[in-house]
């Protein structure tokens, strides 16, 4: 053996070893894995920026989402500062439309739609609505799904069989059909869209929770709790639920982009929020009709929707890898 391959152990080496084999808490470990994932970190920034803009932009904007100014319709995007560079300067085919319509004092960052409504304001109001619908639907899903899964898995036997048959029938209806039918029956509106989305949304969650409960319920710590006389409710919520939290959070995060997509889909087939309320989906639906002549009208909501979906998907991917390394996709 060559002596040069060896060296004395220094403080640095021990520190490194300690760092590598340190007994970090679960949360710290998960955070470490998450931050190491570049895509996930970027997605957090994207989501935060979009949410902030959705909250702030409509407040700061001089226009309201429903102000119809038909004399200023179909204005192309114009942004102060950038207009000097020759982009977003309010020109269409070389003609400054703002000058033509004597609106040179106005700046519509994303342009205006065919009724002269400011698209910048509408996009961020629409983002609010889309996020609200997705958030509400998913929260209710979690609530129903978790409890359903816990009860079905924990009690087992006949309860489980009956509850599983119900989910089986519900899940053999395509979600699209249920959601559309519910809206045909109930008429589209903010609450009804949320209700329609949550009717089948909880099934996936309940399945995952049930599988987790089945995994834990025969383990020693549950038996110990039962021996000590803990009630069923105590065992379910205090012993089993905390162990399934990781899975619940992951499923929760993955269902947000799904709900955003379903809302956009509904709006696209004409079952969106009623006008003049805007959601990303309804704006895409409106803009689509004139997408070839005024592409900017549909571009703004499409880009925000795409960023939102990408952001949430990458974020959930990162979160899953961090929370549950076993599920990590190689």
- Which stretches of the chain bind another protein, using CB under 8 A? 39, 168-169, 172-177, 180-181, 183-185, 257, 261, 264-265, 268-271, 284, 288, 291-292, 295, 298, 302, 305-306, 309-310, 313-314, 329-330
Q: 183 or 241, CB closer to another protein? A: 183
Q: 51 or 309, CB closer to another protein? A: 309
Q: Minimum Å distance from CB 299 to another protein?
A: 9
Q: What's the rounded Cα separation, in Å, for the pair 108 and 77?
A: 6
Q: Minimum Å distance from CB 306 to another protein?
A: 5
Q: 48 or 269, CB closer to another protein? A: 269
Q: What's the rounded Cα separation, in Å, for the pair 128 and 58?
A: 10
Q: What's the rounded Cα separation, in Å, for the pair 11 and 249?
A: 40
Cβ-based burial of 59 (10 A; exposed 0-12, middle 13-18, buried ≥19): exposed
Q: 155 or 265, CB closer to another protein? A: 265
Q: Minimum Å distance from CB 279 to another protein?
A: 14
Q: What's the rounded Cα separation, in Å, for the pair 195 and 92?
A: 43
Three-state SS at 118: strand
Closest CA to 269 of 172, 177, 186, 132: 177
Q: Minimum Å distance from CB 113 to another protein?
A: 16
Cα dist. 15→5, 124, 201, 250, 268 in Å? 20, 49, 49, 34, 58
Place of tokens 């309860």: 159
Q: What's the rounded Cα separation, in Å, for the pair 210 and 168?
A: 14
Q: 155 or 261, CB closer to another protein? A: 261
Q: 225 or 307, CB closer to another protein? A: 307
What DSSP designation does 91 have? E
Q: Minimum Å distance from CB 329 to another protein?
A: 5
Q: Where are the beta strands (DSSP E) in the chain?
A: 91-92, 95-96
Q: 116 or 204, CB closer to another protein? A: 204
Q: Minimum Å distance from CB 127 to another protein?
A: 15
Q: What's the rounded Cα separation, in Å, for the pair 156 and 166?
A: 14
Place of tokens 């979009």: 50
Q: 151 or 297, CB closer to another protein? A: 297
Would the CA dihedral through 171, 175, 180, 183 be positive or negative? positive
Q: Which residues, 6+ apart, have CB-to-CB distance to 146 below 8 Å?
A: 205, 206, 209, 241, 248
Q: Minimum Å distance from CB 307 to another protein?
A: 9
Q: Minimum Å distance from CB 110 to another protein?
A: 16
């Amino acid at each position: 053996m060559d002596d040069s391959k060896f060296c004395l152990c220094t403080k640095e080496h021990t520190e490194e070893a300690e760092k590598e084999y340190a007994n970090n808490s679960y949360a710290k470990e998960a955070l470490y894995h998450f931050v190491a994932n570049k895509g996930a970190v970027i997605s957090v920034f994207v989501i935060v920026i979009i949410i902030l803009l959705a909250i702030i932009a409509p407040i700061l904007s001089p226009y309201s989402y429903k102000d119809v100014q038909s004399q200023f319709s179909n204005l192309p995007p114009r942004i102060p500062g950038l207009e000097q560079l020759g982009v977003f300067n309010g020109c269409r085919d070389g003609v400054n439309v703002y000058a033509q319509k004597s609106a040179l004092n106005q700046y519509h960052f994303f342009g205006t739609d065919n009724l002269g409504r400011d698209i910048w304001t509408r996009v961020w109001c629409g983002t609010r609505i889309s996020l609200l619908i997705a958030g509400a639907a998913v929260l209710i899903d979690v609530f129903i799904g978790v409890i359903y899964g816990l009860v079905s898995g924990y009690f087992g036997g006949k309860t489980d069989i009956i509850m599983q048959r119900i989910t089986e029938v519900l899940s053999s209806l395509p979600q699209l059909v249920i959601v559309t039918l519910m809206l045909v029956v109930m008429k589209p509106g903010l609450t009804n869209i949320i209700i329609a989305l949550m009717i089948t949304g909880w099934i996936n969650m309940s399945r995952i929770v049930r599988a987790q409960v089945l995994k834990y319920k025969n383990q020693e710590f549950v038996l110990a709790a039962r021996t000590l006389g803990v009630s069923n409710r105590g065992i379910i919520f205090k012993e089993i639920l905390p162990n399934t939290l990781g899975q619940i959070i992951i499923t929760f995060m993955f269902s947000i982009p799904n709900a955003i997509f379903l809302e956009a889909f509904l709006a696209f087939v004409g079952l969106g929020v009623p006008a003049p309320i805007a959601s990303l989906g309804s704006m895409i639906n409106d803009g689509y009709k004139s997408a070839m002549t005024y592409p900017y009208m549909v571009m703004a909501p499409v880009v925000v929707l795409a960023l939102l979906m990408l952001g949430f998907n990458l974020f959930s991917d990162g979160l899953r890898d961090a929370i549950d390394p076993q599920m990590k996709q190689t």
